[in-house]
Amino acid sequence: MYGAPVDLSFKDISSLADAWTEEPNSGLRPLKRNSQTKYLSQSLRLNNNNISELSDLQKTVSHFLAEPSQLRWLDLSFNNITHIDQVLCELHELRVLYLHGNSIFILSEVDRLGVLPHLHSITLHGNAIEINKAYRNRVISVLPQIKTMDFNVVTQQERVMAKIWHHSYNHSRTAKRILQ
């Protein structure tokens, strides 16, 4: 029933509202539309643009997709995104989220994505958060259902290490608060 991704990559889009006037790129598989001319897809590619603000993401998804609540795959890689916006947390059916090659610099913002129950694949490499020593452990600990991170399978050993890291991290934070 669902067709090819709606591909708005490499369109020089600066704001999501700019995307509304764009025609998606044609791919190997043709895009299917419903009677309201919305696309029968569960995937949206907005990669390789100049997007920095995600506040219009829901409107953009609704503009293009026949069933916006069924968005499963979102590619926002290679943009100018600096924060993990709360709007991403409203995409409850999301399975795959690509955020690599942006400018996200606060690692704790990844914690917000913990509310996405079906998220199983995420990319965050190529962001400033990647240089943090706790990067992989933190992401795996706040997204325990994740199967792949940065195009690499999350192993059982990594899950154990992330759990140990999470326990020691929370323990040291609690101890610091008590001492203050």
Domain ranges of the chain: 6-179
d(CA 92, CA 90): 6
pLDDT at 122: 98
pLDDT at 3: 86
What pairs with residue 74 in β-bridges? 44, 97
Q: Which two tokens stand for residue 166?
A: 């999470």
Strand 152-153 to 6-7 pairing: unpaired
Q: Mean pLDDT, consecutive 10-residue segments, the chain of 180 residues?
A: 90 96 92 94 98 97 97 98 97 98 97 97 98 95 96 96 84 56
Q: Are 18 and 52 in contact (CB under 8 A)?
A: no
What is the reported pTM?
A: 0.92
Q: Which of 86, 87, 82, 90 is nearest to 107 (CA)?
A: 82
At the fourth CATH level, the homologous superfamily of domain 6-179 is: Ribonuclease Inhibitor (3.80.10.10)
